């Protein structure tokens, strides 16, 4: 959530920044609600003070045996007005929070302003696209030879978008997760294991609710109202919900594996088949709680840790600075890391690293104190994929294929697979 005090002081600046991200968004309806809310609260306080003053006068009159009926009528009138205004304040507060929390985080000053994905800026490219001396296959065609994925049985059990990994497919997936966690732990990230279901207020704190309600899987019955996490970012951000951390505890660099669940996974077109876009996938998340003055440095560290994963696997990738219109709702700055998938003839994102500044911290009420006598401040949160395995699996299969359909296993993964060097053809 934005800082309402700053928005009041600089409405034109915030309006411009927000519209650069979401063209039809505006701070002014929220500012109008904020004005009405503050006026109503001021009037309530005035009436309560007047009621207290009159009540004291009534007490004096009664102690002196004098008639206080007129003043008592006045107090009763004040009470009615106060009750009405208290109800109005509650309504305005609810409406203000709903409207204000629907405004996205503002982009940093160095972000290119555009609504076009084509304007994303390539910061770097590493390696070269794979070349083949034979007609290469996409990952679905390779799977016909390898038999390591079962999409039909996954669809039978859960519907489309829920793939089944089998045999060496399951082992390769687990090897990827173990390899990634090992790198991030080496780079100073502490491993956590998080719940895969969280309460609505936690999803609000991370910025998923209310805006992305329709994109979430949820459980709602007489006993539970919980959401399946779309990423481990949700529970990691919730760890210190409504807490005040000490200055000495920061930064906190965390990593966690989780399955991820997203309703919006369905997509049209042959290029989106298989593992490219699914409802359930695996991911290793990177997350940081940071002092405001250190978040830029940690942002670079998170990107570097995700890059190390891809470099070890020998994959060609590029880093893209997202323009304002392509950034996520809560982000102030985002860099996507995209790998080349020859079977799709295009780049696909496997990691997205974002600095959310104090936006999530305000929603989740996560603060820190620089000293015992210092006023609490909102910290910064950062999140990033370290990385998502479904498209990474596609990249490994398609970039390491042989003419017979077998696939070479990168050396860094072989120790997790008992030294196996190749996934052989079965069919």
Q: What is the pLDDT of residues 35-69, one digit of tens each?
A: 999 999 999 999 988 888 888 888 887 788 878 77
> So what's the pLDDT on residue 138?
96
- Give the single-character DSSP code of 401: B
Alpha carbon separation from 408 to 143, 307, 308, 405 (Å, rounded): 14, 21, 20, 10
pLDDT over 50 (residue 268): no
Alpha carbon separation from 321 to 33, 57, 124, 284, 382 (Å, rounded): 35, 67, 10, 21, 16
> So what's the pLDDT on residue 270?
41
> So what's the pLDDT on residue 218?
95
- Residue 239 CB neighbour total at 10 angstroms: 16
pLDDT over 80 (residue 266): no
Q: The domain 28-100: what is its CATH number?
A: 1.10.287.40
pLDDT band at 74 (very low <50, low <70, confident <90, very high): confident
Sequence-distant (≥ 6) Cβ neighbours of residue 318 within 8 angstroms = 122, 123, 124, 125, 126, 337, 338, 347
> So what's the pLDDT on residue 26?
98
pLDDT band at 272 (very low <50, low <70, confident <90, very high): low
- Residue 403 CB neighbour total at 10 angstroms: 11
Q: Which two tokens stand for residue 131?
A: 């070349």
Q: Which two tokens stand for residue 204?
A: 């609000």
Give the number of C-alpha atoms closer than 13 A to the C-alpha of residue 225, restricted to the C-beta side.
Answer: 6
Average pLDDT for residues 385-389, to the nearest whole number? Answer: 95
Burial tier of 263 (Cβ tally within 10 Å: 0-12, 13-18, 19+): middle
Least Cα distance to 420 among 215, 251, 93, 167 occurs for 167
> So what's the pLDDT on residue 321?
98
User: Edge to edge, what strands does the sheet with 197-198 contain?
Assistant: 197-198, 225-228, 218-220
**Percent of the chain, pLDDT > 90?**
88
Q: How far is CA 362 from the centre of its chain?
A: 14
- Interatomic CA distance for residues 142 and 405, integer angstroms: 6
Please write the tens of the pLDDT for every residue from 115-139: 999 999 999 999 999 999 999 999 9
Burial tier of 190 (Cβ tally within 10 Å: 0-12, 13-18, 19+): exposed
| Residues designated as active site | 262, 277, 349, 352, 391
pLDDT over 70 (residue 357): yes
pLDDT band at 220 (very low <50, low <70, confident <90, very high): confident
pLDDT over 50 (residue 418): yes
- Interatomic CA distance for residues 105 and 330, integer angstroms: 5
- Residue 108 CB neighbour total at 10 angstroms: 16
Sequence-distant (≥ 6) Cβ neighbours of residue 84 within 8 angstroms = none
> So what's the pLDDT on residue 52?
83
- Interatomic CA distance for residues 406 and 388, integer angstroms: 23
Q: Which two tokens stand for residue 142?
A: 């390779």
**What is the chain's mean pLDDT, rounded?**
94
> So what's the pLDDT on residue 70?
79
Tell me which range, 4-8, 46-50, 369-373, is most confidently predicted by mean pLDDT.
4-8
Least Cα distance to 409 among 339, 343, 295, 312 occurs for 312
pLDDT over 70 (residue 269): no
Q: Domain map of the chain by residue range?
A: 28-100, 117-423
- Interatomic CA distance for residues 377 and 366, integer angstroms: 9
Question: pTM here?
Answer: 0.93
Regarding the domain with residue range 117-423, which homologous superfamily does it belong to in the CATH classification?
Bira Bifunctional Protein; Domain 2 (3.30.930.10)
Please write the tens of the pLDDT for every residue from 274-332: 999 999 999 999 999 999 999 999 999 999 999 999 999 999 999 999 999 999 999 99
Greater model confidence, 338 or 72: 338
**Percent of the chain, pLDDT > 70?**
98
């Amino acid at each position: 959530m934005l800082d309402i005090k700053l928005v009041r002081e600089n409405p034109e600046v915030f309006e411009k920044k927000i519209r650069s991200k979401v063209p039809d968004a505006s701070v002014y309806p929220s500012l109008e609600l904020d004005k009405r809310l503050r006026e109503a609260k001021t009037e309530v306080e005035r009436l309560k003070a007047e009621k207290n003053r009159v009540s004291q006068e009534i007490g004096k009159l009664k102690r002196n045996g004098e008639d206080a009926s007129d003043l008592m009528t006045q107090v009763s009138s004040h009470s009615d007005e106060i009750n009405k205004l208290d109800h109005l304040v509650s309504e305005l507060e609810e409406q203000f929070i709903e409207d204000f929390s629907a405004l996205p985080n503002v982009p940093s000053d160095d972000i290119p302003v555009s609504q076009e994905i084509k304007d994303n800026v390539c910061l770097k490219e590493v390696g070269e696209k794979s070349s083949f001396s034979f007609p290469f296959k996409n990952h679905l065609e390779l799977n016909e030879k390898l038999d390591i994925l079962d999409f039909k049985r996954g669809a039978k059990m859960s519907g489309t978008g829920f793939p089944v990994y089998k045999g060496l497919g399951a082992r390769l997936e687990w090897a990827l997760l173990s390899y990634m966690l090992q790198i991030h732990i080496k780079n100073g990230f502490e491993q956590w294991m998080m719940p895969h279901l969280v309460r609505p207020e936690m999803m609000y704190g991370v910025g998923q609710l209310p805006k992305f309600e329709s994109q979430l899987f949820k459980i709602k019955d007489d006993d539970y109202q919980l959401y399946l996490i779309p990423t481990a970012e949700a529970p990691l951000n919730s760890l210190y919900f409504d807490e005040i951390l000490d200055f000495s505890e920061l930064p906190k660099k965390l990593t966690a594996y989780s399955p991820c669940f997203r309703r919006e996974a369905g997509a049209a077109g042959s290029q989106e088949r298989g593992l490219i876009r699914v409802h359930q996938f695996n991911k290793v998340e990177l997350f940081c709680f940071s002092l405001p003055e250190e978040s830029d440095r940690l942002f670079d560290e998170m990107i570097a840790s995700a890059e190390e994963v891809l470099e070890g696997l020998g994959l060609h990738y590029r880093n893209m600075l997202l323009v304002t219109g392509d950034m996520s709702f809560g982000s102030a700055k985002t860099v996507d890391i995209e790998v080349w998938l020859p079977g799709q003839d295009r780049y696909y994102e496997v990691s997205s690293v974002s600095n959310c500044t104090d936006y999530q911290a305000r929603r989740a009420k996560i603060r820190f104190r620089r000293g015992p006598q210092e006023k609490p401040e909102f910290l910064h949160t950062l999140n990033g994929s370290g990385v998502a395995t479904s498209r990474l699996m596609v990249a490994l299969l398609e970039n390491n294929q042989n003419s017979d359909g077998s696939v070479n296993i990168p050396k860094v993964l072989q120790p997790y697979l008992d030294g196996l060097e190749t996934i052989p053809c079965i069919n």
